[in-house]
């Protein structure tokens, strides 16, 4: 993976700029791990002991963005992008018949909407109440960085198993 289009986070930014730029960096990392692969490769279960796929991770990322930013922070009545469950796992991970362009389009759209929601908060310390629990924008941004970082580790392994490509 030599086509690194990510923008590194600033080493001197304030809290808000630091958190949002780290999240965008993690989003760009997932995109980089998928770049240049065919639809079949994105759907490939490349690790024999796992059912994870790169496309499943993209669909999961879209769902997580939608849930935390639109449902939790913005109190929107949003439906699941990929409703249902099969074999005890969310439908977003079942990609055999998934449309690759639709998945990436949904993910990009949810990332754009998430940025807009985050921008609408005056402070990282602003909170919403969701299900009786107060949740701050700071918490959601931090959680999303953790979510992407964990799954980008999975993406590293999947990409290397698919075509041998490695990179940060």
* 3-state SS record for the chain: CCCCCCCCCCCCCCHHHHHHHHHHHHHHHHHHHHCCCCHHHHHCCCCCCCCCCHHHHHHHHHHHHHHHHHHHHCCCCCCCCCCCEECCEEHHHCCCCCCHHHHHHHHHHHHHHHHHHHHHCCCCCCEEEECCEEEEHHHHHHHHHHHHHHHHHHHHHHHHHHHCCCCC
Total-model pTM: 0.94
Question: Are the C-beta atoms of residues 20 and 141 closer than 8 Å to each other?
Answer: yes
Q: Both tokens of residue 141?
A: 């941004």
Q: Kindly indicate the confidence band of residue 40, based on its pLDDT and cuts at 50, 70 and 90.
A: very high
Range name among 24-28, 39-43, 78-82, 124-128 with the lowest pLDDT average: 78-82
Residue-level pLDDT at 88: 66
Residue-level pLDDT at 84: 77
Q: Kindly indicate the confidence band of residue 5, based on its pLDDT and cuts at 50, 70 and 90.
A: confident
Question: Are the C-beta atoms of residues 54 and 32 closer than 8 Å to each other?
Answer: no
Distance, CA of 97 to CA of 105 (rounded, Å): 16
Q: Kindly indicate the confidence band of residue 15, based on its pLDDT and cuts at 50, 70 and 90.
A: very high
Q: Kindly indicate the confidence band of residue 91, based on its pLDDT and cuts at 50, 70 and 90.
A: confident
Distance, CA of 121 to CA of 45 (rounded, Å): 39
What percentage of residues in the chain have a pLDDT greater than 90?
86
């Amino acid at each position: 993976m030599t086509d690194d289009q990510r923008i590194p986070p600033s080493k001197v930014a304030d809290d808000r700029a630091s958190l949002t730029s780290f999240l965008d960096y993690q989003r760009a990392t997932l995109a980089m791990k998928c770049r240049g692969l065919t639809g079949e490769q994105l759907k490939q279960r490349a690790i024999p002991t796992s059912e994870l796929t790169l496309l499943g991770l993209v669909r999961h990322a879209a769902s997580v963005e939608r849930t935390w930013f639109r449902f939790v922070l913005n109190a929107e009545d949003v439906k699941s992008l990929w409703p249902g469950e099969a074999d005890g796992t969310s439908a977003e991970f079942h990609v055999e018949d998934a449309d690759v362009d639709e998945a990436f389009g949904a993910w990009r759209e949810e990332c754009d909407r998430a940025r807009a929601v985050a921008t609408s908060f005056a402070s990282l310390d602003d909170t919403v109440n969701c299900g009786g629990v107060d949740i701050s924008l700071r918490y959601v941004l931090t959680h999303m960085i953790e979510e992407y970082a964990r799954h980008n580790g999975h993406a590293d392994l999947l990409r290397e198993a698919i075509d041998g490509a490695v990179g940060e």
